[in-house]
Amino acid sequence: MKSHTVTVIQPNQKRQSLVAFPGQNLLSLFTEHGLVLPSPCGGKGICGKCKVKILGQTRTIPAEYRLACQVRVSGDLAVELPDAEEKARIMMDSDHTVSLDPLITERLITLPAPTVGDQTSDVERVEQALGLPGCINPELFPALPAILRTSGYTLSAVLSGDEVLTLQTVHQDQLAASEQHLYGVALDLGTTTMVGYLLDLTTGQQLSTYAALNPQRLHGADVISRVDYTVEHENGLTELSQLVRAEINKMIAYFSRHDPTLPQSIYQMAIVGNTIMLHLLAGLEVENIAVAPFIPVVTRDFECKAAEVGIKINPQGRITILPMISGFVGADTVAAILASNLAEQAETSLLLDIGTNGEIAIGNQERILTCSAAAGPAFEGTNIRAGMGGIAGAINQVWINAELNYTTIGDQAARGICGSGVVSLTAQLLKAGLMESSGRLKSPDELGDDFPLKLKQRLCQFDGKSALLVAAQAEGATEDLYFTQQDIRETQLAKAAIAAGVRILLKEMGITAAEVKTLYLAGGFGNYIDPHEAVQIGLLPKELEERVVPIGNGAGTGAKMVLLSRKCLQKSRQIQAKTTYLELSTRSDFQTLFVDSLEFR
């Protein structure tokens, strides 16, 4: 088989030549050779983190910058990678850094051997050396005598804070080598997708990512139908728990595919997600969250032993569930707030995480208010006829001038429209005059004679209702993609819910939009959205157009920060403590603002 050479250029590093087989994915080629690029989306072309500079390829590629995960090697190639240092800052995505101080640490200790004059017991001998009386759990006592005596009193202790998780023999020849590596996994457990990150806790480096669909979706697409499933099926809760735990174990198996001993060295998982997903994971009932007064079993952070919940990392490893706010504002929002640094600033900022629900937070170092606006899944692509998630082939931006043009994620043939595409499309329809501010699509007759014909021709009837042909199969799309009047209504409801939520929070905080310092946008949607267009359709306040800071997967970043820094776990608790949840469903002012926000602009 013919092979290609990929020359890798990195700042301050020697050139490397890698051998690739034809058609090999560039990201996986790099990963195989230990060149780990950040890829939180798991190589799905979503997160944009694996961007590299292509310097030359036999077959000409127009774009100079490409996502490595979307490139298949079809000839010799030179690639410039970003600075390795820069890669290490992946978890500090937002505008602040985290100093490495993980809860999980290893201590190598060599003890004086006991004598008749020093009859200190095995347990206390180790505890004294660690300077932590009482740090060894009785479960570990039985194995200790042999560990001490086979190693000549040199051993390794892995600790979670001040508590010993494992004690292991260390042989003198190993002692010379540097300490072993300890690993942690951060997991953002979403209703639809889950994204996991393998981190080296001794260096802080991210080593691998894993993205998968939440297998529970077979029993309901949204949180409420999952709750129903647990109520309607006798073992429903157990079933849903086991499904997600099994998927987590698949992730661990994936992380350890090159090294079957790796799971033994994974000592912590930090998990975020919405409150219902975290309850289902922990095997806690969710039915009281679904009905008023919407009470979760727990919202504070808690820790289980991996063995107790059947997660196949080190059996003594800890599963840390981050703090949640309420039944409908979860640990993902707390983690995003943590990642945004909003809670550390004197000035007040807003944070928006738009998914099925729009979780919104406003606040500063003093206090935070949150709410969950039942936005519906329009911005996730669901509920929209041609909607899809933000993956390769999704239309993510639209331009309407004399003709309608668009881009897709990964430059692939258009397969559907993702959330940022919906925002862009709506804004462009409005700007071009194809749609009234009420949301009504105009008919070709209503448009003036000098209106571009190509646009007029896109207006049509679909299933008896007005619609717009966004992409035609004839022009390269995988099928004809329509954006219907019904889709516009869904979009309208979603954006009104979010806009009203923002207005309620501003009101409760007693400030105006102009006084908001930053608008943090979490999630892939936040990365792709055009703030100007979001303002144009009234999704975001006009005053904040220039103050938008996308923070990527804030939830995942927050989970990683907690893995890497015990201070961040502390901060996540402080965030929970200073956050007040506002229940919108029972507020009449929310209904009024919601109706008021339905119009585009």
**Cβ–Cβ < 8 Å for 161, 137:** no
Q: Does 285 bind its own copies (CB under 8 A)?
A: yes
599 binds its own copies, rule: CB under 8 A: no
Is 440 among the residues that bind its own copies (CB under 8 A)?
no
Strand blocks (E) in 59-173: 65-67, 77-80, 104-110, 154-160, 163-169
Sign of CA dihedral 439, 443, 449, 455: positive
Q: Per rule CB under 8 A, is residue 297 in the interface with its own copies?
A: yes
- Residues in contact with its own copies, total (CB under 8 A)? 45
Q: Exactly one of 63, 116, 177, 474 binds its own copies (CB under 8 A); which one?
A: 116
Which listed range, 165-173, 282-290, 434-442, 454-462, lies at the site for its own copies (CB under 8 A)?
282-290
CA distances from 293 to 67, 216, 369, 581, 587 (A): 46, 25, 19, 13, 14
284 lines the binding site for its own copies (CB under 8 A) = yes
Region near its own copies per CB under 8 A, out of 9-17, 71-79, 172-180, 290-298: 290-298
Which of 95, 141, 235, 567 is in the footprint of its own copies by CB under 8 A? 141
Q: Is 501 in the site for its own copies (CB under 8 A)?
A: no
Given 58, 60, 115, 588, the residue binding its own copies (CB under 8 A): 115
Read off the tokens for 325: 């706010």
Query: Residue 11 or residue 134: which is nearer to its own copies going by CB?
Result: 134
By CB under 8 A, residue 121 contacts its own copies: yes
CB of 242 to its own copies, least distance (A): 14
Supply the DSSP string of 153-169, one letter for each residue. SEEEEEEETTEEEEEEE
CB of 89 to its own copies, least distance (A): 33
CB burial class (10 A; 0-12, 13-18, 19+) of residue 445? exposed
- The pairing of beta strand 368-373 with beta strand 579-581: parallel
User: What single letter denotes the amino acid at residue 174?
Assistant: Q
State the minimum distance, in angstroms, from the CB of residue 303 to its own copies: 7
- Restricted to residues 570-589, the positions that interact with its own copies (CB under 8 A) are 581, 583, 585-586
Residue type at 521 in one-letter notation? L
Residue 123 as a binder of its own copies (CB under 8 A): the answer is yes
Picking from 16, 48, 21, the residue whose alpha carbon sits closest to that of residue 33 is 16
**Is residue 114 a contact point for its own copies (CB under 8 A)?**
yes
Counting contacts by CB under 8 A, is residue 239 touching its own copies? no
145 is a site residue for its own copies (CB under 8 A): yes
Q: Is 119 exposed, middle or buried (0-12, 13-18, 19+ CB in 10 A)?
A: exposed
- Cα gap 417→409, rounded to integer Å: 10
**Of the residues 84, 298, 413, 447, which one makes contact with its own copies according to CB under 8 A:** 298
Helices and strands (DSSP H and E) totals, the chain: 19, 26
> Binding to its own copies by residue 452, rule CB under 8 A?
no
Nearer to its own copies, 316 or 340 (CB): 316
* CA 433 – CA 482 distance, rounded (Å): 18
Backbone φ, ψ for residue 590 (5° rounding): -70, -45
Q: How far is CA 425 from the centre of its chain?
A: 25
Q: Sheet of 302-305: strands edge to edge?
A: 206-213, 193-200, 183-189, 266-273, 318-321, 302-305
Q: Which is nearer to its own copies, 56 or 133 (CB)?
A: 133
Residue 322 is given by DSSP the state: P
Considering only 112, 133, 310, 476, the residue that binds its own copies (CB under 8 A) is 133
Residue 254 in the binding site for its own copies (CB under 8 A): no
Residue type, 339: A
- Nearer to its own copies (CB atom), residue 168 or residue 174: 168
Q: How far is the CB of 110 from its own copies (least distance, A)?
A: 17
299 scored as a contact of its own copies (CB under 8 A): yes
Give the nearer residue to its own copies in terms of CB position, either 9 or 297.
Answer: 297
Minimum distance of its own copies from residue 592's CB (angstroms): 18
Minimum distance, C-beta of residue 234 to its own copies, in the bound complex (Å): 15
Rounded Cα distance, 468 and 429, in Å? 10
Can you give the binding site for its own copies, defined by CB under 8 A? 114-124, 127, 133-134, 138-139, 141-142, 144-145, 149, 282-285, 288, 292-300, 302-304, 308, 326-327, 581, 583, 585-586
